[in-house]
A and B are shown apart, each in its own frame.
Chain A
Amino acid sequence: MTPRRLYGLVRWYLRELTGESAYDRYLDRHRLAHPGAPPLPRRDFERRRTDRGDENPGARCC
């Protein structure tokens, strides 16, 4: 495995794990579901994504 490939892999994993890639996925979904309609800007999307935690807290174990 080349260092470049390793870097790509680590970056991909961290982006997926932290949810940083959620916006890209949203854009893909949006394009398919509502072609032509403008998607939410990233700022609004991330706000909604985080604020969902207010009503649905994930339990953390001991």
Chain B
Amino acid sequence: MTIPDSTRAKPTWRSILVWTAVAIAGATAWGMIALVRGEEISAFWLVVAALGSYAIGYRFYARFIATKVLRVDDTRATPAERLEDGVDFQPTDRRVLLGHHFAAIAGAGPLVGPVLAAQMGYLPGTMWIIIGVIFAGAVQDMVVLFISMRRNGRSLGQLARDEIGPIGGVAALVGVFSIMIIILAVLALVVVNALAESPWGTFSIAMTIPIALLMGFYLRTLRPGRVIETSLIGVALLLLAIVAGGWVQASSWADAFTLSPQTLVFCLVIYGFVAAVLPVWMLLAPRDYLSTFMKIGTIGLLAVGVLIVAPTLQAEAVTDFASSGAGPVFSGTLFPFVFITIACGALSGFHALIASGTTPKMIQKESQVRLIGYGAMLMESFVAVMALIAACILDPGLYYAMNAPAGVLGTTVESASTAVANLGFTISPQDLQAAADAVGEESLVARTGGAPTLAVGMSEILSSVFGGDSLKAFWYHFAIMFEALFILTTVDAGTRVGRFMLQDTLGNVWKPLGRVGWKPGIWATSAVVVCAWGYFLYAGVNDPLGGINQLFPLFGIANQLLAAIALTVATVVLVKSGRLKWAWVTAAPLAWVAVVTLTASWHKVFSSDPRIGFFAQRERYADALDQGEVLAPAKDLDQMRTVVTNSTVDGVLAAFFALLVVVIILNAAVICWRAARSAEPLPTTEAPYVESKLLVPAGRVAAAEDPEDDRP
């Protein structure tokens, strides 16, 4: 795939013409988005700008990194070839591995963040998603994948310990665990907000449990290994469950499935615990198949919808909230908060865990890190662009009526309409009710968390291609199902991964806990993990200031902190292997993400504005509490106490995350300084060179030698 420099052919006229055309198309689209004002912009331009930029980034920048910086070498055997055991290490066709890797990295993150960031307008989000992925996110994924591959697929924690030292290693481990907890809580909160008081959604999602169990038993006993057949049955049942949700809502069962957010929290926590201790074949494995099918299918469907409908963007390019920082969805100004609100899609530290997990053990040839690491991240970025489009085609009045916290909006369409007017937008109570009726929901007021907003946007797009207005309610619940399914899979898998990390760590202190087969150990550690995220979930649901408003920034900071750890490891490896000249490739995004994360943490910890700083918020409410006053949006003294507790915990966490980043970066700087001063390169941790004997077959299709086409 990659041609070494010396033998690189001169570019042909055809290739020059094609790439000039791509560049012009992309530049024109950027011009339309960024400069044309006063007219309505079609979402089509966003898609062209994204695809044009991705193509150029993939063709030129990713290739430059592969050949010059990483110096990929296809004569060198990959761990998949050297250590092939048919289990973990297995050379896998690059297109298949791209599918695996994409399914593992893409989840609800790129769908939620852009929807929330739409409060700043469509322009900042679009720019960060596209520029961020090309220069930071995809670079991180590709470089970490390469580094891990050269070291037999070591994990990020091990890499940090080997390359930076024990302090960096411990910090990375603690970072990964706490991030996991916050991510699980925030994602579960998104599900709770999407399902609360919605019998249709709750019924459909509840049905996924028996469907998964059925699939599990079918695969285990009746038709072992027939995954496609089982998945097709599962998807058919899933669609039936979505339709049946509508019948349930209209029937006398509706009350049984109308759950309050608090009840849903208990359901989710119990579900998370049970799913983490059951054997994977029963629930997790079949659910994973279902969610992979739904993921790829729905994203494809949405891409087709956006291209056919080419909807017009209703949101402004840049809203006033970008500079005032007074936005209702999340507080704070454009910098740094857009850059932590949109994590997945532009730069996501979590991917470093996947890129140093199973994927590096399955690569056939070194040069394929470009397609799999960089390419899969471009696909995820495109998902984020589509989510942003789906949010920005909504009427801004409806967007704020759905996304401002309940404390601001009240509970009725009238109160919401007034509150939206106070924010400077308009939606009449009748229109708000009509929007809810169209998608078959009781109310859309304060349905925060991003999922319902995305679902309304998707139902707009999909119903104008398939089925018209009569299918709007179906598509809305289809979209909710699609997101909830992702998230529940992440919650299952995340709880399990957290449990293993905990068992692993505690096993050093008390041996039996480390044994993976010891049931009491499994139950105890699973319970600890579930309670940890359950605590934040419960706090988020009961927070009068709005759980998403409070917790989402922490989620973003945590995810970008992990990115900082991954990019630090990458930079240290480049410097240690004598590539100081090229270290900017990862050092520049590292500097950026460090500035963003630390500034955001600074604001969250030290800002004197109680809407932004957790401690300022704590002080304000604690002072009022001492006087026995109740401050809106809290309604009584209990809620006042809740605010004080939550803001203290959140503030301590924000400070803790920032401290972790500082420790790791300082430790890494010392190592880099030593490496740069040492006369010869420091000892390498790479596995030694072994010549590759593997001939990569052209595959079933004679694919073009260089798949420049990176559309999902």
Number of interface residues of A (CB under 8 A): 34
Of B95, B231, B284, B353, which contacts A53 at CB under 8 A?
B284
Chain B residues near A8 (CB, 8 Å)? 700
- In the complex, what's the smallest C-beta–C-beta distance from A33 to chain B, in angstroms? 9
Contact B285 A16, beta carbon cutoff 8 Å = no
Contact A59 B354, beta carbon cutoff 8 Å = yes
Contact B99 A51, beta carbon cutoff 8 Å = no
Alpha-carbon gap, A19 to B281, bound state (A): 14
Contact B490 A61, beta carbon cutoff 8 Å = yes
Interface residues on B, range: 35 or more
Instruction: Please give me the residue from chain A that is nearest to B227 by CB atom.
Output: A18
Alpha-carbon gap, A46 to B230, bound state (A): 14
Instruction: Please give me the residue from chain B that is nearest to A29 by CB atom.
Output: B86
- In the complex, what's the smallest C-beta–C-beta distance from A20 to chain B, in angstroms? 5
- In the complex, what's the smallest C-beta–C-beta distance from A40 to chain B, in angstroms? 11
Q: Is A4 in the interface zone, CB < 8 Å from B?
A: no
Of B228, B493, B559, B701, which contacts A60 at CB under 8 A?
B493
Secondary structure call for the B interface: helix
Chain A residues near B489 (CB, 8 Å)? 60
Of B96, B231, B496, B516, which contacts A13 at CB under 8 A?
B96
Contact B231 A61, beta carbon cutoff 8 Å = no
User: What is the 8 Å Cβ interface bit string for chain B, positions 229-261, against chain A (1 contact, 0 not)?
Assistant: 001000000000000000000000000000000
Q: Is B220 in the interface zone, CB < 8 Å from A?
A: yes
User: What is the 8 Å Cβ interface bit string for chain B, positions 197-232, against chain A (1 contact, 0 not)?
Assistant: 000000000000000000000011000111110010
Of A17, A23, A29, A54, which contacts B96 at CB under 8 A?
A17
Contact A23 B279, beta carbon cutoff 8 Å = no
Contact A61 B350, beta carbon cutoff 8 Å = yes
Contact A17 B350, beta carbon cutoff 8 Å = no
Contact B280 A54, beta carbon cutoff 8 Å = yes
Q: Is A2 in the interface zone, CB < 8 Å from B?
A: no
Q: Is A57 in the interface zone, CB < 8 Å from B?
A: yes
Contact A20 B226, beta carbon cutoff 8 Å = yes
Chain A residues near B354 (CB, 8 Å)? 59, 61
Residue from A20, A50, A52, A59 with most neighbouring chain B CB atoms (10 Å): A59
Q: Is B331 in the interface zone, CB < 8 Å from A?
A: no
Q: Is B332 in the interface zone, CB < 8 Å from A?
A: no
Contact A62 B281, beta carbon cutoff 8 Å = no
Contact B350 A54, beta carbon cutoff 8 Å = no
Q: Is A43 in the interface zone, CB < 8 Å from B?
A: yes
Alpha-carbon gap, A53 to B289, bound state (A): 13
User: What is the 8 Å Cβ interface bit string for chain A, positions 25-62, against chain B (1 contact, 0 not)?
Assistant: 11001000000000000110111001111110111111
- In the complex, what's the smallest C-beta–C-beta distance from B558 to chain A, in angstroms? 10
Alpha-carbon gap, A47 to B220, bound state (A): 7
Chain A residues near B183 (CB, 8 Å)? 62
Chain A residues near B700 (CB, 8 Å)? 8-9, 12
Contact B344 A61, beta carbon cutoff 8 Å = yes
Residue from A13, A20, A42, A57 with most neighbouring chain B CB atoms (10 Å): A57
Instruction: Please give me the residue from chain A that is nearest to B231 by CB atom.
Output: A18
Contact B493 A17, beta carbon cutoff 8 Å = no
Of B99, B225, B500, which contacts A20 at CB under 8 A?
B225
Contact B353 A59, beta carbon cutoff 8 Å = yes
Q: Is B435 in the interface zone, CB < 8 Å from A?
A: no
Task: List A residues at the B interface (Cβ < 8 Å).
Answer: 1, 8-9, 12-20, 22-23, 25-26, 29, 42-43, 45-47, 50-55, 57-62
Task: List B residues at the A interface (Cβ < 8 Å).
Answer: 86-87, 90, 92-93, 95-96, 99-100, 103-109, 183, 187, 219-220, 224-228, 231, 279-281, 284-285, 288-289, 292, 344, 348, 350-351, 353-354, 357-358, 489-490, 493-494, 496-497, 500, 516, 559, 700-701
Nearest 7 Cβ contacts at the A-B interface: A62-B109, A53-B280, A18-B227, A46-B224, A57-B496, A60-B493, A16-B96
